[in-house]
């Protein structure tokens, strides 16, 4: 009886939170299957639901959608780039700090984490200036590098915590077996860190995929902007095509959802490593 009561209480909390979370997504969906005329009708289900909006988006048949495929490719390119580079830097750093015990490693990590004290928005202007100085403005690389800067400290920290949990004897056994540090990294460390690596790679990838502010600042050409910024352009006119905007938004939200779903096991396990004392 007590258990039932406890569960009932949990459900009472869970259901409103779930509804609250799903409501905006439902509205996106509602818009995306409505015709332009019925988009603002206020009904909970359109009178004539249609998938035509998606066709319009895929065929790029609207002024704001002329670069849809190009922009989604940019989003993918930038997200993958940021994910891979962040993962590479963070893994090497975590290995050096946690396993090789490089002198000053912890200081470097703490210094990197310290950057989170400064809100990302404040860093936007200096970042813009820096990218300008290196001639990277309007190149996808600028956003990739910016995202790596933002994601790396957290990624290093999480991976370092996960590394600390690997038994130290494994390194010693490998050393006695004749492994060089690089072989230890490749043959022992990487395979054992795989769940955390997947989690952190996904984190950096999604961070870059969802980024708007930096993308908006650093990239301005129709051919180089990611779709997130492209979506923002919809709001430039008085008569925005909301149904197309929402259809595009829904398409844009699918890859992260799919990635998260595919790696959900690693996400929960990987990101909470080090959160509590083992």
* From 179, 251, 253, 271, residue interacting with another protein (rule: CB under 8 A): 179
Burial 158-195 (b: 16+ CB within 10 A, else e): bbbbbbeeeeeeebeebeeeebeeeebbeebbeebbeb
Report how far apart, in Å, the C-alpha atoms of 227 and of each of 7, 235, 251 are.
42, 14, 10
Minimum gap (Å) between residue 183 Cβ and another protein: 6
177 binds another protein (CB under 8 A): yes
Our CB check for another protein shows the closer of 177 and 222 to be: 177
Binding residue count for another protein, defined by CB under 8 A: 16
Among 188, 198, 218, 247, binds another protein (CB under 8 A): 188
Return the residue of 117, 167, 261, 278 that touches another protein, per CB under 8 A.
167
Distance in Å, CB of 174 to another protein, minimum = 8
Q: Does 103 bind another protein (CB under 8 A)?
A: no
Is 178 a residue that touches another protein (CB under 8 A)? yes
What's the CA gap between 63 and 52, in Å, rounded? 16
Give the shortest CB-247-to-another protein separation in angstroms: 44
Q: Site for another protein (CB under 8 A): which residue of 24, 135, 191, 278?
A: 191
Distance (Å, whole) CA 165 – CA 273: 9
Interaction between residue 170 and another protein (CB under 8 A): yes
For 18, the token pair is 């779930």
User: Nearer to another protein by C-beta: 135 or 167?
Assistant: 167
Stretch in the footprint of another protein (CB under 8 A) among 146-154, 165-173, 212-220, 229-237: 165-173
42: left (phi over 0), alpha (psi -120 to 50) or beta: left
* CB nearer another protein, residue 176 or residue 236: 176
Quote the least distance from Cβ 195 to another protein, whole Å.
11
Q: Could you tell me which stretch among 3-11, 54-62, 173-181, 254-262 binds another protein (CB under 8 A)?
A: 173-181
50 sits near another protein (criterion: CB under 8 A): no
Q: What is the contact surface with another protein in residues (CB under 8 A)?
A: 167, 169-170, 172-179, 183, 187-188, 191-192
């Amino acid at each position: 009886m007590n258990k039932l009561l406890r569960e009932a209480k949990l459900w009472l909390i869970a259901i409103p939170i779930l509804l609250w979370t799903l409501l905006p997504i439902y509205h996106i969906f509602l818009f995306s299957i409505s015709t332009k005329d019925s988009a603002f009708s206020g009904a909970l289900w359109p009178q004539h639901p249609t998938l035509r909006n998606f066709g319009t988006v895929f065929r790029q048949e609207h002024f704001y959608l002329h670069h849809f495929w190009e922009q989604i490719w940019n989003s993918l390119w930038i997200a993958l780039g940021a994910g891979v580079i962040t993962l590479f830097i963070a893994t090497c750093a975590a290995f050096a700090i946690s396993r090789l015990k490089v002198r000053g490693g912890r200081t470097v990590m703490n210094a990197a984490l310290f950057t989170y004290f400064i809100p990302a928005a404040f860093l936007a202007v200096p970042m813009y200036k820096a990218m300008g100085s290196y001639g990277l403005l309007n190149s996808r690389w600028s956003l990739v590098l910016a995202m790596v800067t933002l994601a790396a400290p957290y990624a290093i920290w999480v991976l370092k915590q996960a590394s600390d949990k690997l038994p130290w004897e494994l390194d010693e056994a490998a050393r006695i077996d004749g492994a060089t540090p690089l072989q230890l990294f490749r043959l022992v460390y990487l395979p054992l860190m795989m769940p955390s690596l997947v989690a952190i790679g996904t984190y950096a990838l999604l961070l870059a995929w969802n980024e708007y502010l930096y993308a908006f600042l650093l990239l301005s050409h129709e051919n180089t902007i990611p779709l997130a910024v492209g979506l923002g352009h919809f709001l430039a006119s008085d008569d925005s095509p909301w149904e197309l905007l929402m259809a595009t938004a829904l398409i844009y939200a699918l890859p992260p959802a799919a990635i998260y779903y595919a790696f959900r096991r690693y996400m929960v396990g990987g990101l909470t490593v080090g959160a509590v004392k083992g």
